[in-house]
A and B are shown apart, each in its own frame.
Chain A
Amino acid sequence: MPLPSMLPQQVLPFGFVFVYAAFGVSGFILGWVAQRGNYCFVNAMTSIFTTKSYDRFGALLILFGISALLTGLLVVTGIVPAVDQYYDNYFSGWYVIVGAVIFGFGATMAGGCNLSMLYRAASGYVQNWLELVGMMVGTYIFAVAIWPFQSFTMADGILSTKLGAYTEYLPYDLFHSVSQVSIGVTAAGIGVPLMAIGIFLQRKTRSRRSVQSSGISGIGSLHALAAPASTGRVGPLPLIGLQGTKLRLSDAKEMLLLRRPYGANFSTLLLAGALLLVFVAGAGYTFNYLVITSSDGGRFLEYILMPFGVNLALNTPWYNDALPILDPSVLMVVMLIVGAFSASLLSGDFKVRVPHQRKRLAVGFSGGILVGIGVRTALGCNIGMMWTNFAQLGYDGILFLFSMLFGVWIAVKLQRHLV
């Protein structure tokens, strides 16, 4: 049987300007929507362990499910070639699990995942500024202390796969084929259950909430060391089609005028749309790892040092063999910050917020270091590795999800002792 192709094919042959522009637009949407929806993967997970609320976690599962389904649909219908879906699938191994646990722990302590760190930093949360700085430091620590060993295990296949690409592609793993049927079956097999579980969890939480009829915060009440949540509405809007009800015109107007935050499910749909945009635009340019934010934590340190005559890409491990000096995610992250900043400013939410408890700053910084180490060890963050990998029909995202949940659980337990 011939091996699957490894020649990416462009869907929209408009050149690099178009690709970069698409990533920039997608980044702006991500920042804007995440800020308006207060979309945080870590808060979604902590709320499971603190308030037993599954609203936001359910929205995450719906996001993963809908991303897998829609990208699968684009491939099955022939709009995007299969090779563009699996071309950038990463290796898998011990590092995904270890890194995700460290990341989940660090992000919970610091008060934000890679997405919420960026939009909260842009909304004026000083704790998240320090988390970002800590992430840069953590990335450097990873580069010089961990990467040489990790790359050795990856090259030698020690508790690691060695090929990536289609060998990490579930349709190929399950059916030894990248035919449209195998991709369609796999996409449905991943997407439908995830969406069903997500909706079920949300309904369960809402019914429990209606019984209790008291305001339960989706953010963990014991989440005392984390950055406080923004004005995002907790839980799914009872207005979205997924919930079987309609978006009222007055609500839409309120959201358009930035008087009202977006609901979790509405945000989910918009985020999935942003992912699809880069999936199509980046196809064939080998940028189809879709949405990515964590690499740029490391890249920004590289950029900050350039004016001082230091080029990390010349002789620092990882920087000199694994991190291209530029890629579309740079523009995506920059525009994500611009989008989040614009949304927070126009909605009146922007304010430079220094935590009353000064120890939060230290916790934010040290948590950021762990985030930097964790995301690089895992070869990506909750966005670039977990969400994206669900859309790539890989299995690293599943490993990352459960490992991250474990890390979050440890951090919640620890916070209970600290508070």
Chain B
Amino acid sequence: MSTTTVARKFNYSRLIAPIALIIFAVGWYEFSVVYIPNANNQLVANDNLAVYVPIQQIQGYLAALIDATYLTVSVGLIMFAYYFVKLLRFRSAR
């Protein structure tokens, strides 16, 4: 079997997807830290308390989110490693 044939059989999106997952998780966390508290403060400054969220809740969200982010990044790395090894096996099978 030629290298080209073997390489064609490997679905590269499975290698890229975990990286996308990691970027999504880290990006979402960064977004949450920077923009959500800021937008919430804007509401207070504009006397709009109808959709304002107490600060304790935002802190709870960020605390839970950091754990979820660690978990997601870890899972993403494991997936990436798994599919990377698979790719190497495919390539070495030439």
Q: A324-B51, A331-B68 are in contact. Are A345 and B60 (CB under 8 A)?
A: no
Which segment, of A125-133, A142-150, A313-321, A400-408, faces chain B?
A313-321
A16 within 8 A of B: yes
Q: A334: shortest Cβ distance to chain B, in Å?
A: 6
Q: A213: shortest Cβ distance to chain B, in Å?
A: 35
The CA-CA distance from A348 to B50 in the complex, in Å, is 45
Determine the main DSSP class of A at the interface with B: helix
Q: A16-B57, A20-B65 are in contact. Are A321 and B51 (CB under 8 A)?
A: yes
Q: A314-B43, A320-B50, A331-B64 are in contact. Are A16 and B56 (CB under 8 A)?
A: yes
B39, A306: Cβ atoms closer than 8 Å = yes
Which segment, of A39-47, A226-234, A335-343, faces chain B?
A335-343
Residues on B with C-beta less than 8 A from A163 are none
A351, B68: Cβ atoms closer than 8 Å = no
Residue of B nearest to A342 (CB): B75
B48, A313: Cβ atoms closer than 8 Å = yes
Tell me the residues in window 22-71 of chain B with beta carbons closer than 8 Å to chain A beta carbons. 24-25, 28, 31, 35-36, 38-40, 42-43, 46, 48, 50-53, 56-61, 63-65, 67-68
Residues on B with C-beta less than 8 A from A314 are 42-43, 46, 48
B63, A17: Cβ atoms closer than 8 Å = yes
The CA-CA distance from A124 to B64 in the complex, in Å, is 27
Q: A299: shortest Cβ distance to chain B, in Å?
A: 10
Determine the main DSSP class of B at the interface with A: helix
Residues on A with C-beta less than 8 A from B39 are 306, 311, 313, 325
Interface size class for chain A? 35 or more
A351, B64: Cβ atoms closer than 8 Å = no
The CA-CA distance from A38 to B17 in the complex, in Å, is 20
Interface size class for chain B? 35 or more
Residues on A with C-beta less than 8 A from B59 are 16-17
A158 within 8 A of B: no
Partner of B61, one of A306, A330, A346, A352: A330
Residue of B nearest to A350 (CB): B17
B13 within 8 A of A: yes
Residues on B with C-beta less than 8 A from A326 are 36, 40, 53, 57-58, 61
A244 within 8 A of B: no
A79 within 8 A of B: no
B40, A346: Cβ atoms closer than 8 Å = no
A241 within 8 A of B: no
Tell me the residues in window 384-409 of chain A with beta carbons closer than 8 Å to chain B beta carbons. none
Q: A16-B56, A350-B13 are in contact. Are A323 and B51 (CB under 8 A)?
A: yes
A327 within 8 A of B: yes
Partner of A15, one of B11, B14, B53, B60: B60
B13, A351: Cβ atoms closer than 8 Å = yes
List 13 other contacts, CB 8 Å, given A16-B60, A331-B65: A16-B57, A16-B63, A20-B64, A21-B67, A306-B35, A311-B39, A313-B48, A314-B46, A325-B36, A326-B58, A328-B61, A342-B79, A350-B17
Q: A16-B57, A334-B28 are in contact. Are A24 and B17 (CB under 8 A)?
A: no
The CA-CA distance from A144 to B50 in the complex, in Å, is 17
Q: B51: shortest Cβ distance to chain A, in Å?
A: 5
11 residue pairs A–B, Cβ–Cβ below 8 Å: A15-B56, A16-B59, A17-B60, A17-B63, A19-B60, A21-B68, A326-B57, A331-B64, A338-B72, A342-B79, A345-B14
